[in-house]
Amino acid sequence: MTAPIPAWVDGRLRPVGKLDVHRRGLRHKAVSVFVMRGTEVLIQQRAMGKYHTPGLWANTCCTHPLWGEDAAACAVRRLREELGITGLAPVRAGQVEYRAEVGGGLIEHEVVEIFVAEAGEVLALEPDPEEVMATEWVDIGVLAARVARASGDFTPWLRIYLAEHRGMIFGDLAQA
């Protein structure tokens, strides 16, 4: 059983079980992180055991904050849990809201705090195999072209971020 996440029910923020949130398509809080190395972004391929969008490529990491957890603390926690990344200082880039079907009758309706962190040339990665099956550094422009060419290989939220929020997330690098 996972800890409840913050979701809006009847106009009020309440702790709700993660699977229940997605089955009901409830609007809920989320965090997404993009780790950068110059014009390259670290992406991950979701583990096959994930309950939705298994095997699809996503941004560096994403999650739901725990009830009462600060979004920035959540970003740092999830970098460590999913990828073994420590020592980075994610900076808030903005907020995005989206709704997308993610398969199996599940819906993500997220209000997402987006964070960006700059990594040095060498970044130690220790992906949790329950969460991540592969990682790759890819140039932002190359990633956008790959998503356009084979959108089904990527999570709905990554497609939305690149199509609608690329400038907010990547700033001047969005033109790369």
Tens of pLDDT, residues 39-92: 999 999 999 999 899 999 999 999 999 999 999 999 999 999 999 999 999 999
On the question of pLDDT at 1 being above 60, the answer is no
pLDDT mean over 134-150: 96
CATH topology of domain 5-169: Nucleoside Triphosphate Pyrophosphohydrolase (3.90.79)
110 as an active site residue: the answer is yes
40 as an active site residue: the answer is no
Please pick, among 62, 74, 82, 108, the residue that the annotation labels catalytic. 62
3-state helix vs strand vs coil in the chain, percent to 5: 30, 40, 30
Q: Which sequence spans correspond to the domains of the chain?
A: 5-169
Please pick, among 40, 82, 108, 110, the residue that the annotation labels catalytic. 110
Summarised one tens digit per residue, pLDDT across range 81-122 is 999 999 999 999 999 999 999 988 999 999 999 999 999 888
- For every residue of 58-107, DSSP letters joined together read ESSEEE-PPTT--HHHHHHHHHHHHH---S---EEEEEEEEEEEEETTEE
What local confidence, expressed as pLDDT, does residue 172 receive?
A: 72
83 by Cβ neighbours in 10 Å (0-12 / 13-18 / 19+) ranks as buried
Summarised one tens digit per residue, pLDDT across range 10-44 is 999 999 988 999 999 999 999 999 999 999 999 99
What local confidence, expressed as pLDDT, does residue 152 receive?
A: 95
